[in-house]
């Protein structure tokens, strides 16, 4: 996918792009108050939900088409482009008629290729920037697929929004950030701008500043933050919205770091530190190879004595002792567990290759396949 560079995409806005606005547009008074309060704060774009995807019926579903002009007028009054979520060709038609500047596709829509394609057809021939939120569940291909569909429909001013992922594991976040996914998206499509939505990741305004700073530190191209004049009484997402002042404070507290430096000494020191990492990685891999050799020897022994590969007690013991050893070495417990699981998975694979190896016609064992 060939995307224009972010500089061409940016609508003349300074980087990184800061977007603020309510979860849902509720009234002209509400959206005007937000627009006025954010003017001059560095916020470059006003967001507002017009049609809200809600988990259960009976919740506030958004005002609908009528609120499009409220949002657009509020944007005009402060000279800010405005953006809304679209989830159907009808939404697209209404948003385009109202002169909305940018569209975004929500997490619940990105999961559905039929719907994304319908939206693409409605957008064919229209030159408007579109941002695509990640799908609800951690599926990078589905996220890329939605971007590709838009690209193929002639929409080239594209950006992605990372809003976190639903996982069954309990976490302090409403949607786990799983940072490796958006970073892999950046690796796969380097020219695609990626913004972060700390509001929907956190689900709790107290956590937003930390996630926003992490996103900036990881080189994200902007932030989309939910802002409401009276968050506690917001008709949707009351726990995660910031007041305009809260957003201004967050912006003022952000530390913007550079990806590189012109300072030759700093570059030299960094190079040295990286060489150290390179050497450690080599040693790690050599050690892993030695461990795998031992695993294969055990595999041969199990085969000889007709024993099963997987031994639950042994695995439980590893899962207990390794994180404990790791903790003594200041290593994160979850990291050690995941690492051991990965090593164990390949050890099982290696040993099954040995166990299921067929003897050749001369009675010797054939070499394992792959």
Q: What is the footprint of ligand PEP within residues 202-261 (CB under 6 A)?
A: none
User: CB within 8 A of 10, min separation 6: which ones?
Assistant: 17
- Does position 20 interact with ligand PEP (CB under 6 A)? The reply is no
- Does position 23 interact with Mn ion (CB under 5 A)? The reply is yes
- Does position 157 interact with ligand PEP (CB under 6 A)? The reply is no
CA torsion, ordered 176, 81, 75, 94, to nearest 10 deg: -80
CB of residue 19 to ligand PEP, shortest distance in Å:
10
Which member of 200, 205, 228, 248 binds ligand PEP (CB under 6 A)?
A: 200
- 357's contact among ligand PEP, Mn ion, none, with CB below 5 to 8 A by partner kind, is none
User: Is residue 148 helix, strand or coil?
Assistant: helix
Nearest residue to ligand PEP by CB is 106
- Maximal C-alpha separation, the chain: 87
* Closest among 110, 237, 113, 130 to 181, alpha carbons compared: 110
- Which is nearer to ligand PEP, 133 or 186 (by Cβ)? 133
- Does position 107 interact with ligand PEP (CB under 6 A)? The reply is yes
Task: Using the rule CB under 6 A, give the single segment among 2-10, 101-109, 184-192, 276-284 that binds ligand PEP.
Answer: 101-109
Which member of 16, 21, 44, 49 binds ligand PEP (CB under 6 A)?
A: 49
* Closest among 63, 55, 59 to 22, alpha carbons compared: 63
- Which is nearer to ligand PEP, 63 or 107 (by Cβ)? 107
- CA dist 122 → 100, 125, 287 (Å): 15, 9, 56
Binding mask 50-69 for ligand PEP (x = CB under 6 A): ---x----------------
CB of residue 197 to ligand PEP, shortest distance in Å:
6
- Residues contacting Mn ion: total by CB under 5 A: 2
* Closest among 267, 265, 255, 247 to 218, alpha carbons compared: 255
Which member of 10, 133, 149, 162 binds ligand PEP (CB under 6 A)?
A: 133
Q: What is the footprint of Mn ion within residues 195-254 (CB under 5 A)?
A: 237
Task: Using the rule CB under 6 A, give the single segment among 105-113, 122-130, 148-156, 251-259 that binds ligand PEP.
Answer: 105-113
For residue 129, give both structure tokens: 């920037």
- Does position 326 interact with ligand PEP (CB under 6 A)? The reply is no
- CA dist 294 → 201, 290, 291, 311 (Å): 43, 6, 5, 16
Task: Using the rule CB under 5 A, give the single segment among 19-27, 79-87, 343-351, 354-362 that binds Mn ion.
Answer: 19-27
For residue 42, give both structure tokens: 């560095």
User: Is residue 332 helix, strand or coil?
Assistant: coil
Q: What secondary structure, in 3-state letters, does 50-99 show?
A: CCCCCCCCCCCCCCCCHHHHHHHHHHHHHCCCEEEECCCHHHHHHHHHCC
Whole-number Å distance between alpha carbons of 76 and 45: 11
Q: Which residues bind ligand PEP (CB under 6 A)?
A: 23, 49, 53, 85, 106-108, 133, 163, 200
Residues that bind Mn ion (CB under 5 A): 23, 237
């Amino acid at each position: 996918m060939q995307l224009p560079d972010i500089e061409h995409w940016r609508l003349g806005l300074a980087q990184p792009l800061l977007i603020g606005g309510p979860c849902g547009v509720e009234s002209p008074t509400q959206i005007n108050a937000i627009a006025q309060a954010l003017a001059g704060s560095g916020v470059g774009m006003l967001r507002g939900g017009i049609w809200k995807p809600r988990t259960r019926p009976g919740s506030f579903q958004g005002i609908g088409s009528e609120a499009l002009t409220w949002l657009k007028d509020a944007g005009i009054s402060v000279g800010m482009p405005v953006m809304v979520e679209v989830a159907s060709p009808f939404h697209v038609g209404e948003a385009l008629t109202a002169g909305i500047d940018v569209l975004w596709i929500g997490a619940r829509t990105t999961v559905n290729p039929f719907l994304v394609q319908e939206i693409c057809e409605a957008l064919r021939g229209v030159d408007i920037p579109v941002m695509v939120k990640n799908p609800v569940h951690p599926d990078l291909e589905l996220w890329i697929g939605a971007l590709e569909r838009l690209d193929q429909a002639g929409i080239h001013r594209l950006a992605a929004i990372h809003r976190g992922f639903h996982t069954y594991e309990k976490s302090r976040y409403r949607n786990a950030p799983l940072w490796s996914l958006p970073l892999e998206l950046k690796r796969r499509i380097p020219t695609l701008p990626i913004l972060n939505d700390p509001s929907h990741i956190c689900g709790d305004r107290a956590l937003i500043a930390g996630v926003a700073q992490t996103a900036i530190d990881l080189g994200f191209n902007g932030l989309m933050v939910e802002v409401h004049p009276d968050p506690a009484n917001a008709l949707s997402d009351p726990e995660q919205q910031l007041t305009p002042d809260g957003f201004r404070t967050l912006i003022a507290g952000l530390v913007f770091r550079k990806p590189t430096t012109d300072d030759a000494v700093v570059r030299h020191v960094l190079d040295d530190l990286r060489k150290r990492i390179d050497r450690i990685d080599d040693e790690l891999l050599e050690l892993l190879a030695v461990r795998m050799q031992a695993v294969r020897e055990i595999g041969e022994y199990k085969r000889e004595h007709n024993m099963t590969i997987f031994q639950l007690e042994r695995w439980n013991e590893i899962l207990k002792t390794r994180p404990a050893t790791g903790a003594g070495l200041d290593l994160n417990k979850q990291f050690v567990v995941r690492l051991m699981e990965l090593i164990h998975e390949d050890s099982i694979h290696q040993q099954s290759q040995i166990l299921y190896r067929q003897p050749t016609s001369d009675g010797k064992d054939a070499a394992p396949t792959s």
